[in-house]
Structure 1
Amino acid sequence: MTDGDLTTEVKGISLITEQAKEVLNQRQLIDYRDHREKLIRWMLNLGKDPSSAEGYAYHTARRRADDCDKFYRWKWSESGYTTDVTHDDADAYMRELVYGDRSASYKTNIQKTLKMLFQWRSWEYDEDKWEPQLSISNSRGATQPRDFLSREERQQIREVALEYGSVPHYNSLSPKGRKKWKRYLARRFRKPMSEITKSDFERANGFKIPSLVWTSLDAGLRPIEVKRAQVQWIDTDNAVLRVPADQAAKNNEHWTVSLQQRTAEMLERWLEERQLYQKYAETDSVWLTREGNPYQSHSLKYLLEQLCDLSGLSTDNRSISWYSIRHSVGTYMTREEGLAAAQAQLRHTSVQTTMKYDQAPVEDRRDALNRMG
């Protein structure tokens, strides 16, 4: 392939930037060019509204193509060449921009570009869409954590996790009632009603969901950490998670994360129960979905929405996702023990990342108003 081939354009938008040429070898350039061509053609023809086959205007597509190139080059400077960028990469990139001297408008545009990039990856590779950790306001030039759960809401979610998906005890049901619940479990476990047994009733009342939710409420697990969590992380005797450096989500450090004793007990019960299920026989993953897949952002968001609905918590005018649990941990740990404790609990390498949680929760501000009279 000649150098001229590498400068091929799509409707005036360069597939290979001069900056990319400086850091990639010939084979990498070929791969990156093909990757960029798919993205740029999608932007021009579908990107604005894929359902209506409406693309972006040329100038918008060119600017976003340039912004994507900067993001990819940042990723390469961190860990070498790849086109497989992740949600964690996008969040880390945005955190760096937040503490830079760029304008709020620039930061907002970059976030829009990254959302578009992961919308394309969802279209092209069937990946999850990106839900940014930071919400960036162009008008105020500020960044805030996404909506977090209050203390009361955390307690409600913790308690309702014990009820989620539960069914009456097998022996307490009449034949008619048992038939009704068997029909429900047949749909839930996707098996014939004739194959539903007493063990399925016990399975429905298992400890998977409570252990997942309670551990996240204590450790502020990111969706990627729920996905990566290994049995070896769990030390129930000492009520901690021990996350090895090579499995940490955003850094290469070992982390020891505190858990409540009741959470450790819930995990211990789940680990015992977990051994009964065939889908865990050849994996060290702590939690898998009903279909035997790792949890993703969308499945965790759905679970949290179900828990909110079950507990009567309104999500109107709020941006609720699994990160709402993590942000509540950061906010209240900062209020109770300070930034250093929150930094360790949330596994941040830099205290600057934790500083966004140094804010007064709404109940603290209400108490202040009451004292003010």
Structure 2
Amino acid sequence: MFDKPQDDVDLPVPIVSEPNYDALEQFAPLKTEDYESFKRDFLTWLATKGKRPFRGDGYADTTVHTTHYKIEMAYRWLWEQEGKYTTSFDGEKGEAFIDTLVTESPKTDNEIKIFIKCLKRLFKWFDNTTGTNYDWSYSKSDQLRSEDNSKSIHYFRQWELGELYDAALDFGSFKSYRNKGMSDKERKRLKIYLAQRFEKPKEEIGAADFEKANSWKFPSLTSMSIDLGLRPIEVGRASVNWLNLSENEVVIPHDESTKNAEPWECALSNRSVNALERWLEERRQYDLYDETDALWVTKYGNPYDSSSLNRLLDNLLERTDVTPGNRDLTWYAIRRGCATMWANNAGLDAAREQLRHKRLKTTMRYVKSESSKRTSIANDLW
């Protein structure tokens, strides 16, 4: 029935996911073997021919990976709907499956479009190997919105958030101006850098500027943003009055909490408490903060916003090993990473409270699976 697969293909995914093995336990054992053979043929075709069958061009590993888990979920849905084991999937069932995602799941329109693409690959395989002619497309595709990918898929992984904090420490740290181990050449380079950073002539840079550069401003801002997933507008609104450091928490009043009518109580890590305590002590020394309760302001005395935070982020990224790849890593990606980190380690309910979401459904749209920590759970969520 199907083309004989190549035995030596190194597939980037397991033939069958754990959730599907679990679902297959309700059927006779031979059904599992049949599904394994079915999936092996399909995945091998994807990897070796799927992109352009007549040329023998397969899809990239990432595409095979995505398609595999989307189709696994589709078959779990199919078995539940049919009440029996089957590998038969046609256009009518494809339409019904996507309708279910649209009406009953928290998935974004962009995510649903990916499911549609994966089903198209399945039907393309059927057409190519069995002589069917599904030529399937979802009838309501024109009603699915194109969404901002930076808000739906671009986020910092947990280890990358740690790199950002380390970079913030590095960004605000300089040797003493009179450090005996500093060469004249190094001191000259640092004076040029500080002249650019403080926007003053190089000749005027002295010991006080080097001391000023050893600031806890950026580590405290970065750490608290990672803990709470602060939106840019919340960084701008953040006040010293929000802080309850003795209880490791931030209390955001209801009249200052974005998109909410109630105050939020959010947890702070010991790392953030340490950075904030040091920053508050330092902050009192600056004339810039004499008449404001703002926790942080720019060097011009303005509240932080998306533009100023994204410039800060660019500076931090230059000091890390983080490679953006095809991601658009803006400040908002920290919030997405925070949501994923909390959901991975403390569960969705804790993530919802920490991210200050009214509804769990909103949090679920934020969370992205990190394979290094949640492989088995990620398989369930696909």
TM-score bracket for the superposition, by shorter chain length: 0.5 to 0.7
Q: Does 1:318 align with 2:355?
A: no
The structure 1 segments of at least 4 consecutive aligned residues displaced by more than 6 Å after TM superposition are none
Find the counterpart in structure 2 of residue 281 from structure 1. Answer: 290
Give yes or no for the alignment of 1:148 onto 2:155: yes
Query: Which residue of the partner structure matches residue 264 of structure 1?
Result: 273
Aligned match for 1:159, one of 141, 146, 166:
166
Q: Give me the whole-angstrom Cα distance separating, in 2, the residues matched to 1:253 and 1:216.
A: 20
Residue type at the aligned position of 2:225: S
Deviates more, 1:354-363 or 1:231-240: 354-363
Match for 2:177: what amino acid? Y
- Tell me, in whole angstroms, the C-alpha distance in 2 between the residues paired with 1:265 and 1:364: 27
Cα distance, 1:359 vs structure 2: 4.5
Distance 1:320 1:359, change over 3 A: closer
Query: RMSD over aligned Cα, in angstroms?
Result: 3.0
CA deviations 1:100-149 (Å, max 9, x no partner) are xxx6644526x5xxxxxxxxxxxxxxxxxxxx5xx39xxxxxxx733111
Is residue 203 of structure 1 aligned with residue 212 of structure 2? yes
> Which string of whole-angstrom CA distances, capped at 9 and with x for unpartnered residues, describes residues 181-221 of structure 1?
33332221112334333221111110011001111111110
Residue correspondence of structure 1 range 332-347 to structure 2 within 5 A = 332-347=341-356
Q: CA deviation at 1:360?
A: 2.6
Q: Which has the higher contact order (CA 8 A, sep 6+)?
A: 2
Kindly tell me: are residues 311 and 180 of structure 1, through their superposed partners in 2, closer, same or farther at Cα, counting changes over 3 Å? closer
Gapped runs of 5+ residues in structure 2? 1-105, 110-139
In structure 2, the CA distance between the partners of 1:303 and 1:146, relative to structure 1 (3 Å rule), is farther
Match 1:349 to one of 330, 334, 358: 358
The partner residue of 1:224 within 223, 226, 233 is 233
Instruction: Select the residue among 100, 105, 108 that pairs with 2:145.
Output: 108
The one of 211, 219, 222 aligned to 1:213: 222
Percent identity for Structure 1 against Structure 2: 40
CA contact (8 A) 1:300 1:322 kept: yes
Aligned residues: 244
Instruction: Tell me if structure 2 keeps the 8 A contact 1:146–1:320.
Output: no
Structure 2 CA distance for partners of 1:319 and 1:176, relative to 1, 3 Å = closer
Asked if 1 retains the 8 angstrom alpha-carbon contact of 2:195 and 2:205, the reply is: yes
CA contact (8 A) 2:238 2:295 kept: yes
Query: How much does 1:240 deviate?
Result: 0.8
Residue of structure 1 in register with 2:177 after alignment? 170
Post-superposition offset of 1:305: 2.4
What's the TM-score, normalizing by structure 1? Answer: 0.59
- Give the structure 2 partner of residue 360 of structure 1: 369
Deviation per residue, 1:51-74 (Å, 9 max, x gap):
xxxxxxxxxxxxxxxxxxxxxxxx
Gaps spanning 5+ residues in structure 1: where? 1-94, 112-131, 137-143
For residue 254 of structure 1, the aligned residue among 255, 260, 263 is 263
Once residues 243 and 153 of structure 2 are traced to their aligned partners in structure 1, the CA distance between those partners, rounded to angstroms, is 28
Contact 1:308 1:315 (C-alpha < 8 Å) held by counterparts: no
Q: Could you tell me how far apart the structure 2 residues matched to 1:307 and 1:193 are?
A: 23
CA separation of 1:301 and 1:184: change in aligned 2, threshold 3 A = closer
Distance 2:289 2:141 in 1: 46
Normalised by the length of structure 2, the TM-score is 0.58
Give the greater-gyration-radius structure (CA): 2
